[in-house]
Amino acid sequence: MFRITASDAIRDCSGVSRRELLRVGSLALGGLALPQLLARASTTGRSAATGKSVVLLFLQGGPSQLEFFDPKMDAPEEFRTITGEVQTKLAGVTFGGTLEKLAERADRLAVVRSFGSGNADHQNYLSVAGGGSPLKASMGPIYSRIVGANRRDTGMPTNAIITPEAVDPKLKLGSNFETKSLESLKSAGMLGAAYTPFDPSGGGELKKNLELRLPLAHFDERRSLLGQLDEFKRTLDRTQTFDNLDTYQQQAYDVIQKGIVEAFDLRKESPQTIAKYDSSGIFKQEDLQKFFDMKRVSNLLGKQMLMARRLVEMGCGFVTVTDAGWDMHANNNSPKNMTGMTPMTKQVDHAVAAFLDDLKDRGLSEKVLLIVTGEMGRTPRINKGGGRDHYAELTPLLLAGGGLKMGQVIGRSDKTAAKAITPRYTPQNLMATVMNVLFDTGEVRLQPALSNDVVNAATAGKPIAELF
């Protein structure tokens, strides 16, 4: 057993001392100490996992299908994209005019123009990422339930969420409806708190988050904690304290030292790599944050994607990256004529292109599936303010890598991007696609420790056929 302690002895309202931050080997979670939890996790359905990972870039607020991958420049002016179009590497295929870098990489992408979430409401991440599961859980927690909440070799969380605050802990983004919708992203539904995504930012409730994942008490300052852990590690190395710990005690320490300290520290990357991802120069956050619908807009998406790459490279199997501000009504809660669309789509273009190139350079393209989508799409007809309203029928969807068939556009919409004119794909199809990337679904069915609901969530439904 070892402890990490703070310099004060203040107690919170439940009587937990803030002096003792961690006690590996004795602090229990649900009746089990951390090493016991890790030992138990090793008996889950890891044998069914393919070893691949998924990164889901979730555009909160509802991105427009026309300004992204279905521009409809032949439609009347009140329908077609406001950003023009750009020719991609694929013959006869264009994207919205601000997606120049993705257009150059279209041979490494698959765009689904016949995908619709069936949802026209905010605060409903599950409408896309839950696939209609009765567990009320999204893909990340379901993955984590099957393989275990942490990797047994490193202690790395298997399911994580990367908000802008994870990149910059001092960032103070405003509060709007997207703040509430984050709760949907972080919920594990009926699977329980043990399978909620690990959130390195804490989102203002770092104590709550870490207690769900690890038996930790208060962390007053994340960066201060990292410094203390570095010093603690040097002391342990000098004294060889851990030489006699058993496997799971050592692993419990790794959860702290390896899984948290290094994986989420972008300073471990070269300045050149950070510069390639950096999107902070594309626009000024304050120019858009003055609008209520855009209170949570940030220009840190590039570094969020870099952190996602670090996590999957270190063994995190499912990472959700959030990018907010896509509610483009142009009703004074967002800028008139959707003037925020150009800088925001350019940031997505830059960040996703950097991520794809980095995966390719590292030989990870086939091992990581990237998904870009949102909870809904946008009305084809532009409204009186020059914006687009909520729309359930069609939703942008891009996929890249994961060993799937790339370089294609799947499905077609009508002349105004109002509805699919080929068979429509739904979140159930997306869920099945992801599960078939992450698992040998036949093996999942053979896992005796999994409930029928979990097995069905991972094995039911039909994948997007053209991708396989």
b/e burial code for range 330-368 (CB count within 10 A of at least 16 → b): bbebbbeebbbbbbbbbbbbbbbbbbbbbbeeeebbebb
- In contact, 216 and 209? CB cutoff 8 Å: no
Tens digits of residue pLDDT in 295-330: 999 999 999 999 999 999 999 999 999 999 999 999
**Nearest to 342, CA basis, from 381, 288, 418:** 288
Task: State the CB neighbour count (10 A cutoff) for residue 140.
Answer: 28
- What domains does the chain contain, in order, with CATH numbers? 45-229+267-467 (3.40.720)
- E strands within 386-461? 390-391, 397-401, 408-410
The tokens of 325 are what? 């501000």
**Nearest to 319, CA basis, from 198, 211, 217, 208:** 198
pLDDT of residue 187: 84
- In contact, 325 and 181? CB cutoff 8 Å: no
Q: Please give the Cα distance from 135 to 130 (Å, whole number).
A: 9
Amino acid at 269: E
In this prediction, residue 232 has a pLDDT band, given cuts at 50, 70 and 90, of low
pLDDT of residue 19: 44
Q: Provide the Cα torsion 145, 441, 456, 311; round to 10°.
A: 30
Amino acid at 253: Y
Question: Can you state the angle between helices 427-438 and 139-147, rounded to 10 degrees?
Answer: 30
Tens digits of residue pLDDT in 357-414: 999 999 999 999 999 999 999 999 999 999 999 999 999 999 999 999 999 999 999 9
- Using the predicted structure, report yes or no on whether residue 98 has a pLDDT greater than 50: yes
Q: Please give the Cα distance from 463 to 69 (Å, whole number).
A: 21
